[in-house]
Amino acid sequence: MTQLILRRLATSVLILLAVSLLVFIATLLLPGDPAQAILGQQATPERLAALREQMHLNDPVWQRYLSWLGGLAVGNFGMSAASGGAVTALLGERIGASLVLLLAAAVISIPLGLLLGSYSALRKGRAGDHITTGASLVLAALPEFVIGISLITVFSTTIFPILPSVTMAPPGEAVWNYPSQLVLPTFTLVLMVTPYIARMMRATMLEVLDSGYVEMARLKGVPEGQVILRHALPHALSPVAQVIAIQLAWMAGGVVVVEFLFRYPGIGQALVDAVANRDVQVVQTLSILIAAVYIVVNLLADVVGILTNPKLRTGGAR
């Protein structure tokens, strides 16, 4: 089993390397010159040449790639072209803020999705099932900004003016010191992600409930609760884990829109700003980070799959 996980881990590292190469090439292809962008109006040929020298822009491409990669490995993401400061300093706080949002949404939506999915599978064909599947279909069909705006309309304007619609933490203070401001963005993400998890859970749960071993467990006299928890749930989880992984990964990127909507000081905002300012180092760093999130959550889903399937765990030896 460890071998299997290690092999997946090795593949993940390779994929990450490939992504870093792609990101690097993509930023090379961007029009414009970072040195020019930084200096802007004050660019004179001498200063440009000096800055180029300082930023190693004159080195061969492969050397720049390797030194950038080396920097990534030790946590040195380079200097921001727009602010002139270290990328780590610029992004550190924002990454934390985004992670808080992501984690809060994941912690709420995963159990909620699993519960709702199992509930509607168990009540298949009854009112509870119809309501859950209907509602989840509608929510899944709505784009995130529509959900976000609707939430703002309902909870922070005229109807129930109880929650703030934008995030307004004073600079330098952490977002989680103002929990009420976190509610609406988190809630939007939860509403986006939960329907997919619930629908997938319902489908796999229905399949598992129809299986021979669940019927056998019932015929063994196992109480219904234990049938669900011990015989049905573990088998239903593994395909759902893949969907959860895709959803979490989507959140890492989709958070951009939600953060923009609520003016939340996270990586989404930073990414939008960086692209506007042609801040190459920041764009590179964020792309790699988001790619890393994708890979890590998918790896976790694979591990869940391995844990719930003894065939993978023990090998096929008879």
Partner 1 sequence: MSTSVVEPPTTTKPVLSAQDLRISTTSGQEILHGVSFTLQPGKILALVGESGSGKTTAGLACLGHFRQGLKHTGGEIHLAGTGNTGSILDLPEQERRKLRGGSISYVPQDPALSLNPAMPIGRQIAEVLQVQHYGRSEEERSARVAEVLAEVGLNNSPAYQRRYPHQLSGGQQQRVGIAMAFACRPSVLVLDEPTTGLDVTTQALVLQTIAELTERHGVAGLYITHDLAVVAKIADEVVVMLSGEVVEKGPAAEVLYQPQHDYTRKLLSAVPDLAGKRQVGRVAVITGEHPVVGRESTAAAAARQQLSTPPTTDGGKLLEVTGLKLSYGKTQVLDGIDFSLAKGESMMLLGESGSGKTTLSRCIAGLNDDYKGTVRLNGEELRPGTRARTPEQRQQVQYVFQSPFSSLNPRRTICESVEVPLQMSGTLNRKQRRIRVREALDQVRLGESYLDRRPGDLSGGQRQRVAIARALVNAPQLLVCDEITSALDVSVQASIIDLLRTLQAETGMSMLFVTHNICLARHISQRMAVLQQGRIVDLGSTDEVLQRPRHEYTRELLANVPTL
202 lies in the binding site for partner 1 (CB under 8 A): no
64 lies in the binding site for partner 1 (CB under 8 A): no
Among positions 94, 202, 235, 278, the unique one binding partner 1 when judged by CB under 8 A: 235
84 lies in the binding site for partner 1 (CB under 8 A): no
Give, in order, the Cα–Cα distances in Å from 55 to each of 20, 59, 70, 275: 19, 9, 15, 19
Contact present, 297 and 248 (Cβ < 8 Å)? yes
DSSP state of 122: H
Nearer to partner 1, 150 or 211 (CB): 211
Q: What is the residue-wise DSSP string for 79-110?
A: B-TTT-SBHHHHHHHHHHHHHHHHHHHHHHHH
Contact present, 48 and 36 (Cβ < 8 Å)? yes
Nearer to partner 1, 73 or 317 (CB): 317
Nearer to partner 1, 145 or 213 (CB): 213
Residues whose CB is less than 8 angstroms from the CB of residue 6 and which lie 6 or more positions away in sequence, other chains included? none
| Closest separation in Å from C-beta 131 to partner 1 | 22
| Residue 164 Rama label (left phi>0; alpha psi -120 to 50; beta) | beta
288-317 positions binding partner 1, by CB under 8 A:
308-311, 314, 316-317
Binding mask 205-234 for partner 1 (x = CB under 8 A): ------xxx-xxxxxxxxxx-x---xx--x
126 lies in the binding site for partner 1 (CB under 8 A): no
Nearer to partner 1, 208 or 291 (CB): 208
Contact present, 268 and 257 (Cβ < 8 Å)? yes
85 lies in the binding site for partner 1 (CB under 8 A): no
| Closest separation in Å from C-beta 75 to partner 1 | 40
3-state secondary structure of 262: coil
Chain residues binding partner 1 by CB under 8 A are 211-213, 215-224, 226, 230-231, 234-235, 308-311, 314, 316-318
